[in-house]
Every structure is written in structure tokens, then in C-alpha cells.
Homo-oligomer: A and B are copies of this chain.
Amino acid sequence: MATAPDETGDAFTERQQAVLDAVLALMVEEGGDVTMTMVARRASCSKESLYKWFGDRDGLLTATVRWQASKVRAGNYDRQRLDVLALRDSLTRFAANWLGVISSPTSIALNRFAIAQAGARGSNLGAIMLANGRFAIGERIKPVLEAGRDAGLIGFDDSETAFRSFLGLVGRDVQIRLLLGDRLTLSPAEIERDAARATDQFLALYGTGTAGPVSH
């Protein structure tokens, strides 16, 4: 994954950010079929300005993806007091936040677009999405897992592998179903319940406490 999550090209004018927000809104509403004329009309700017600011259509859409990615920097899951309750709390909060993100209309629209682009050669939008979504999240959660291991609360060989299992328990088939257009509404209550269930299952699999550890 080349694109680091840090190099967010968010050096944009307010005017330009408004344009990018217009693109995001159009993507959610129109579903990928976003023309330059539509963007210009929606953002009340001229096409000439669009090309001046973003180069070409691909530049505009890439900037939109980066812009949205720079806005998603979600909460940090501190690993201070490290009893099993704190660990469970951090993981549950992460899981709920993650479920909220992947089920949001903006995330769905943007992932749809990045996936459609990923087929064509010479596209890096998918890499940007992965770097700022899946992998950035992993780099923030893995320290929590490792701290839990250092405290003897959970056990695993590879934090990446453990994190991937956790991701699977949290996300299950939610994202692919939403991307394929399945009507699947996740209420905040359901998100909280699913996050707690996934965390319980993860701790049951990897915990060293009451429930015995399981080979992995």
C-alpha cells in the first residue's frame, strides 16, 4: 500500500472544500455517475475553475476521496488503565464506530466508486481507501491489542491476524451486502449490540481469563 494515511492533500481552499463536499453529496445521491457539469452546477462554480483547481476529472475525484478520508480520523482508543473492562470498552467503542462508518451512505458511495475504479488500470483510489480506512484503523487498534497481551489479558502470536479476526467478527457480511445494494439498516442500538457481541466473541477466542484460550 503506497499511499500513507498521513499525506492527506487537504491543502484546499474553503471554496475548493465546498466543491469536494458537493462531489460527495452528488456521489451519495446519484451513485457514481457524477459529471463535471453536475459538479459545476451543484457547487455553483465554472467547469473552467474545476479544471484549474483539480487538473482533470480524475484529479477531482481523487481529491474528493482524500478529502473525505481526511475527515474520518475517528476517535483514539486509549490504552491507559488496562483491566479487562477497559480493553472490552475500547474494542467495543472501536467496533461500534467502525460499523457506523462502513454503513454510512458516504462510505458506501465512496467505496462503490473506488471499487469501480479499481478495475481500470492505473487507478489508486482503492489503495487510498484502504490506506485511510482498513489499514489506518488497524494501526490504531493493534497497539490496544498488544497492550492487552502485555497485560496478560489476551493471547495471540500475530496482532495483524488477531485484528483481522476481530474485523471479521465485527463486520461479518455487512459491508459487501450494503455495497451490493442490500437494504440493511443498522440502527444505533443494533450497532451497539453487534459491537458488544463481536467484542465478546473476540475475547472468548483470544482471552486468557475465565474462558480458556483457543488455538488459532
Chain A residues with a Cβ under 8 A of chain B: 1, 30-33, 109, 111-116, 118-121, 123, 126-127, 129-130, 134, 164-165, 167-173, 175-177, 179-182, 197, 200-201, 204-205, 211-212, 214-216
**A173 CB contacts on chain B under 8 angstroms:** 134, 164, 167-168, 171
Q: Which 10 A-B pairs have the closest CB atoms?
A: A31-B119, A116-B116, A126-B180, A126-B181, A118-B181, A168-B172, A168-B168, A32-B119, A204-B214, A164-B172
- A171 to B165 CA separation, bound complex (whole angstroms): 9
> Which residues from chain B contact A181 at a C-beta distance below 8 Å?
118, 123, 126-127, 130
* Alpha-carbon gap, A78 to B105, bound state (A): 40
Interface of chain A, helix or strand or loop or mixed? helix
Q: In the assembly, what is the distance between CA of A179 and CA of B116, in Å?
A: 9
- Stoichiometry, as copies per complex, reads 2
6 contacts between A and B (CB under 8 A): A31-B118, A32-B116, A130-B182, A167-B173, A168-B170, A169-B169
A28 CB → nearest B CB, Å? 9
Closest to A173 in B: B167
- Contact between chains at B180 and A118 (CB < 8 Å): yes
CB-contact partner of A116 in B115, B170, B197, under 8 A: B115
Query: Which residues of the partner chain B approach A30 to less than 8 Å between Cβ atoms?
Result: 119
Pairwise interchain contact A201-B179, C-beta atoms closer than 8 A: no
Contact indicator A201/B115 (Cβ below 8 Å): no
Q: B130 to A119, Cβ gap below 8 A?
A: no
- Which chain B residue shows the least CB distance to A200? B215
CA distance in complex: A3, B165 (Å): 32
A49 CB to closest chain B CB, in angstroms?
Answer: 26
Tell me if A112 and B116 are in contact (CB < 8 A).
yes
